[in-house]
């Protein structure tokens, strides 16, 4: 980082000594965080900055640190003509005292997904549950209400009934669809409890399963179904998806709800999902227009 040059620029710009002192401290913390996480200037992402901001205790500290990083990257754009500005994409109002969402790294979420032993029907079901939560960013209530008729294997998508009984269509990677198909095929009696649902578990049991497998793989952080939903959104944005796309996938009525993650420019829904989601292998099942229902 060009810290010394940036500080000199602030001094020439007439910034107050207190602001400069605070920014020096913030950049020192940020540089140390980069070193710890083995991140370079070229690999800093919006999600990484949000993760850094989450380390601060007070809302005022978070707001100042974000202002510092926005100012620094704007300086790099102006003086050094650097094209990448990860801080510009972040738009969070810390004055609302809203906690930053916690999320898993890609390695952590894959450890969780791969933890169940799929040689048993129960293990296969649990792996399918974790994949559905991560591949689709589903709320736990949406997951347990998912019906067999909501899954469109031909178009590679699932229909979800969200808050306010609003329907939305979410594309699914082929590997997740294959898990669903394998689970349905291996159910001993082919029954679904008479209610047409894919799984017959309570919200409490889903929470318990995630906790049990998290402990099994050695995750010390507290995670829940909503943590996986946060992870879904963060990984999409971290890989270049547009905020409006993520809003639609999450089923948020208001864009401000999604802005806790970041703010990016508009792209088409399916294109962004296929290019950004870590589990997507550009499945041929995700045909053009699959979400235009």
Catalytic residues: 139, 163, 226, 229, 252, 261
Beta-bridge partner residues of 170:
158
The answer to whether 238 and 47 are in contact (CB under 8 A) is yes
Tell me how far apart the alpha carbons of residues 134 and 228 are, in angstroms, rounded to a whole number: 6
The answer to whether 130 and 232 are in contact (CB under 8 A) is no
How many residues belong to the chain? 293
- Backbone angle region of 66, left / alpha / beta, with phi > 0 → left and psi within -120 to 50 → alpha: alpha
Q: Nearest to residue 272, comparing CAs of 177, 174, 171?
A: 171
The answer to whether 88 and 70 are in contact (CB under 8 A) is yes
Which pair of structure tokens corresponds to residue 65? 């640190």
- Backbone angle region of 14, left / alpha / beta, with phi > 0 → left and psi within -120 to 50 → alpha: left
Q: What is the phi/psi pair of residue 160, to 5°?
A: -120, 135
DSSP H helical ranges for the chain: 3-12, 17-37, 46-53, 59-80, 106-114, 121-136, 140-144, 174-186, 203-216, 225-238, 243-250, 255-258, 269-276
Q: Tokens 């178009």 — which residue?
A: 155
Per-position DSSP letters for 150-165, written without gaps between them: GEETTTTEEEEE-GGG
Which DSSP symbol is given to 149?
A: G
Which pair of structure tokens corresponds to residue 18? 């207190």
């Amino acid at each position: 980082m060009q810290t010394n040059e940036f500080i000199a620029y602030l001094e020439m710009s007439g910034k107050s000594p207190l602001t400069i002192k605070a920014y020096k401290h913030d950049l020192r913390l940020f540089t140390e965080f980069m070193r710890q996480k083995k991140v370079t200037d070229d690999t800093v992402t919006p999600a990484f900055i949000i993760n850094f901001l989450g380390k601060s205790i007070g809302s005022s500290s978070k707001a100042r640190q974000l202002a510092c990083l926005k100012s620094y990257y704007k300086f790099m754009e102006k003086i050094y003509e650097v094209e990448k500005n990860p801080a510009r994409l972040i738009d969070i109002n810390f004055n609302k005292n809203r906690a930053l969402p916690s999320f898993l790294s890609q390695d952590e979420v894959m450890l969780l997904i791969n933890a169940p032993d799929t040689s048993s029907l129960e293990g296969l079901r649990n792996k399918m549950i974790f994949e559905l939560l991560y591949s689709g960013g589903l709320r736990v209530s949406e997951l347990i209400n998912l019906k067999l008729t909501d899954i469109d294997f031909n178009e590679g998508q699932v229909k979800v009934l969200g808050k306010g009984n609003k329907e939305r269509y979410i594309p699914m990677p082929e590997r997740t669809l294959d898990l669903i198909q394998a689970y349905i095929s291996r159910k001993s009696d082919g029954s679904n409890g008479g209610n047409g649902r894919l799984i017959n578990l309570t919200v409490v049991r889903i929470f318990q399963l995630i906790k049990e497998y998290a402990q099994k793989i050695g995750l010390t952080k507290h995670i829940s179904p909503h943590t996986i939903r946060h992870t879904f959104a963060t990984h999409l944005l971290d890989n270049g998806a547009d905020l409006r796309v993520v809003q639609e996938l999450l089923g948020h009525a208001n864009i401000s709800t999604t802005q806790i993650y970041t703010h990016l420019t508009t792209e088409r829904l399916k294109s962004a999902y296929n290019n950004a989601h870590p589990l997507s292998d550009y499945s041929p099942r995700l045909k053009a227009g699959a979400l235009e229902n």
